[in-house]
């Protein structure tokens, strides 16, 4: 049976070897600290988007590589604000979709989601691959993108028909989440419809 003293000696020896390679190798300690600092920066910047990627990859280094690729690809794009004419068009279409929630909540939510994609394309994010478009937009809009992803999840859930799922409420919430991202992209607050009428005469803000 290995004594406690022997175990302690082994631990100290391993710690000494680790310290030698970490601090004794020129530049290695600096790179280690720089990577650690970069990891903290990415977690602060991307928030829930970082957490989502970590849940997928299960490895911080893989997440940091993915975000590094996004930032490099984003630097190759020319992103511009939405101009007045496009802003008016997009906002009018959003208001129309929102007003249509009463008659067809699913169609209204799907249209709202597509309008987010249109706004991204107008800004300059490539539209050929929707997921890549969102990935590149995360470099500039990580926190509001999380709102959009919440909305997308609610929209998907509303189609399940699962017991206890209030589809109309799921869609209403999806519209609210989509609007957060949409407003940030177009550079202003959309004019919310005061209320929509849900079955039975109940009024729920849209």
Per-chain mean pLDDT for the chain: 83
| CB distance 98 to 206 below 8 Å | yes
Are 66 and 53 contacting, i.e. CB atoms less than 8 angstroms apart? yes
139 or 32, greater pLDDT: 139
pLDDT tens digits, one per residue of 41-61: 999 999 999 999 999 999 999
Give the residue extent of every domain in the chain.
Answer: 84-204
Mean pLDDT along residues 177-182:
97
Higher pLDDT, residue 9 or 200: 9
d(CA 75, CA 71): 6
Q: Is the dihedral of CA 152, 158, 162, 163 positive or negative?
A: positive
Query: pLDDT class for 126, splitting at 50, 70, 90?
Result: very high
By percentage, how much of the chain surpasses pLDDT 70? Answer: 72
- Residue 181's pLDDT band (cuts 50, 70, 90): very high
Residue 10 confidence (pLDDT) above 90? no
Q: What average pLDDT score do residues 163-177 get?
A: 91
pLDDT at 20: 52
38 — pLDDT class (breaks 50, 70, 90): confident
Identify the burial level of 64 via C-beta atoms within 10 angstroms of its C-beta, where 0-12 means exposed, 13-18 middle and 19 or more buried: buried
């Amino acid at each position: 049976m290995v004594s406690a003293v022997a175990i302690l000696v082994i631990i100290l020896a391993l710690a000494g070897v680790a310290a030698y390679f970490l601090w004794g190798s020129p530049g290695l300690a600096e790179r280690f600290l720089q990577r650690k600092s970069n990891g903290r920066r990415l977690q602060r910047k991307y928030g829930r988007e970082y957490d989502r990627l970590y849940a997928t990859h299960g490895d911080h280094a893989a997440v940091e590589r993915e975000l590094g690729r996004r930032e490099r690809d984003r630097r190759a794009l020319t992103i511009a604000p939405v101009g007045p004419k496009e802003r008016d068009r997009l906002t009018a279409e959003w208001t129309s979709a929102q007003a249509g929630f009463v008659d067809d909540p699913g169609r209204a939510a799907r249209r709202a989601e597509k309008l987010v994609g249109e706004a991204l394309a107008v800004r300059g994010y490539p539209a050929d691959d929707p997921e890549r478009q969102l990935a590149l937009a995360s470099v500039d809009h990580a926190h509001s993108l999380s709102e959009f992803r919440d909305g997308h999840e609610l929209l998907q859930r509303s189609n399940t028909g699962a017991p206890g799922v209030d589809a109309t409420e799921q869609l209403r919430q999806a519209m609210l989440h989509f609007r957060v991202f949409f407003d940030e992209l177009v550079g202003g607050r959309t004019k919310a419809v005061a209320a929509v009428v849900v079955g039975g005469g109940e009024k729920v803000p849209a």
